[in-house]
Amino acid sequence: MDKFSDYPTSLTAPARDAAPVTPDDVADLPVLPRALYVGQTGDLSLRVAGGQTVILQNVPAGTVLPVRSRGVNATGTTAAGIVALW
């Protein structure tokens, strides 16, 4: 039973769904996530919702990044085990 099913899903609410992310230099993620989980330490090259590309260096394993990213680039990404949360 989900006691919170009637509550709206806001950006500050916990994620309800998740999907593994395969870094790709062109393809966008199917859903704009509210956060990304990083399973293995490394760099992330992101195409953020605002249109910029940014590289986050040395993201530790187990980090949840509260970033809305349209996609994760293969070029420049060394982190692994990336999961989109929405």
Residue 34 lies in a domain: yes
- Residue 48 half-sphere exposure toward CB, CA atoms < 13 A: 12
Range of the domain at 39: 18-85
Structure confidence at residue 83 (pLDDT) = 98
Give the number of residues written for the chain: 86
Structure confidence at residue 81 (pLDDT) = 98
Residue 11 lies in a domain: no
Structure confidence at residue 57 (pLDDT) = 98
In terms of DSSP H, where are the helices of the chain? none
Residue 9 lies in a domain: no
Per run of 10 residues, the mean pLDDT along the chain (length 86 residues) is: 79 89 97 96 97 98 97 98 97
Structure confidence at residue 56 (pLDDT) = 98
State the residue for tokens 């949840």.
Answer: 64
Q: What is the 3-state secondary structure (H, E, C) of 15-75?
A: CCCEEECCCCCCCCCCCCCCEEEECECEEEEEEECCCCEEEEEEECCCEEECCCEEEEECC
Structure confidence at residue 12 (pLDDT) = 79
Structure confidence at residue 10 (pLDDT) = 79
Structure confidence at residue 9 (pLDDT) = 77
Number of domains in the chain: 1
